[in-house]
Amino acid sequence: MIAIDGRWALARPEHPLGRYSYHLITELAFLSRPYDLYVYGDLSADPETVKRWRFLLPVDLLITPNRVTWEQMAFPQASGSAALVHAMDVPPLVSRRPRVVTVMAAPGREGPAGAFPARLADAYRRQMMAWTLPRAALVMTADDATRDQLVARFGVRPDRVRVIPGTPRPEEPMAPSLKALAIAAVIGHSHLPAALEAVDQLPPAVALWLGCGGSASWSDIERALARHHLAGRTAVVDVGDQDEWRQRLRKAQVFLYLPDGPTDPAVMLEAMMLGTPVVASRNPLAADVLGDAGLLVDVPSGDNLLPALSQLLAHPELQQTFIEKGQVRAQKQFWRNAAKRTHEAYLEVLAARGIL
């Protein structure tokens, strides 16, 4: 059972930490392990509610973004039954239970403008973090930069930090009519011949922007392009150059993803968030990620690859449908993954303390 102080985590979706908490808690409710969610509002308005709740609803996991209310009122009653406390932003000083903390940004001298409630003085927040974060069982954050600051400035042990990104906001997609007549592609070595054969049969005006950085090396790509006489209409892009690759991905009418190894959902989700329809090799994971927001093809035969590419390139209205569905689906997939990794973090902490 999860108990949640809803005053900040659920009531402020426009707030960066509130939005993160809102989506994360929602997805936790849909995991295969059932969580029973009990959401409370302003507990400081009715402390008797907390006292009654302590005896009626024993709690396994307590999620709290509110330090004052929970420290002064809820924790003396609620934390006695909570196996784990997950605090948003700053962990409570009084909890003796294992603590997981989510920190969205480390404070600067002036404090991150607009990132946290104005009533929280930045100096106070820094001091609270210095006292409590090194004692937390696990600290979660949404990006590498914040992780590095927490380690360098607040003494958090690197092995106790987990980066669990939330979803970026989807970019405003380009209309299909404004996109380049091009296919952005990440293709494994074993699938290059079938993929290039299909592209070769498309109209000569269709360009291929081929991402390099996976199992297919530069030399593999150059030899394959020479065999299929596609060098003149192909640009090879280093996927490690994120700025250039994302620009290409956003401007392409189709993203073709045929990996040699396991499907990486993040590769497909990035294209979907940028507003580019995806054609991917058929497997259960790719099907789960794409749903009805893209097309799946059979590899290594590649029998339906050419029809899939031709269909998308010839029908802008189908591209627009996949763009809209893809951006909605990508956001849900990002949060589902974040919830799974958060759940795994809970289990890791509880197992380390011998509670499981």
Pick from 109-113, 205-209, 271-275, 283-287: least confident:
109-113
Residue 344: CB atoms within 10 A of its CB come to 12
Higher-confidence residue of 178 and 11: namely 178
- Residues 11, 17, 20: CA angle, nearest 5 degrees: 85
| Phi then psi dihedrals of residue 41, to 5 deg | -90, -130
Please check whether the domain covering 176-333 is classified as CATH 3.40.190.10: no
DSSP string, 29-56: TTSSS---EEEE--GGG-HHHHHHHHHH
8 A C-beta contact, residue 74 and residue 50: yes
**Percent over 90 (pLDDT), the chain:** 27
pLDDT, tens digit, 9 for 90 and up, residues 298-320: 887 667 899 999 999 999 999 99
Q: What is the mean pLDDT of residues 36-57?
A: 51
C-alpha distances in Å from residue 257, one per residue of 201, 283, 305, 353 = 18, 12, 11, 42
CB 342 within 8 A of CB 28: yes
Torsion sign (Cα): 30, 87, 71, 115: negative
* Residue of 41 and 122 predicted with greater confidence: 122
pLDDT of residue 101: 81
How far apart CA 245 and CA 184 sit, in angstroms, is 9
Give the confidence band of 60 by pLDDT, cuts at 50, 70, 90.
low
DSSP per-residue letters across 85-113: EEEESS--SS--S-EEEEES----SS--T
Residue-level pLDDT at 266: 82
Between CA 337 and CA 343, with CA 340 as vertex, the angle to 5 degrees is 150
pLDDT at 318: 96
Own/partner long-range contacts of 14-20 (Cβ < 8 Å, ≥24 apart): 15/117, 16/104, 16/105, 16/115, 17/65, 17/88, 17/89, 17/102, 17/104, 17/115, 17/116, 18/65, 19/166, 20/102, 20/104, 20/142, 20/166
Residue 10 has pLDDT above 60, yes or no: no
Cis peptide before 300 (omega within 30 of 0): yes
- Quote the pLDDT of residue 258: 93
Sequence-ordered alpha helix ranges (H) in 110-253? 122-132, 144-154, 192-200, 218-228, 242-251
pLDDT of residue 131: 81
Residues contacting residue 190 through CB under 8 Å, at least 6 positions apart: 215, 260, 300
Using CA atoms, how far apart are residues 77 and 81, in angstroms rounded to an integer? Answer: 8
CA distance 66 to 44: 10
The DSSP output letter for 253 is S
Alpha carbon distance 236, 202 (integer Å): 18
One-letter identity of residue 232: G
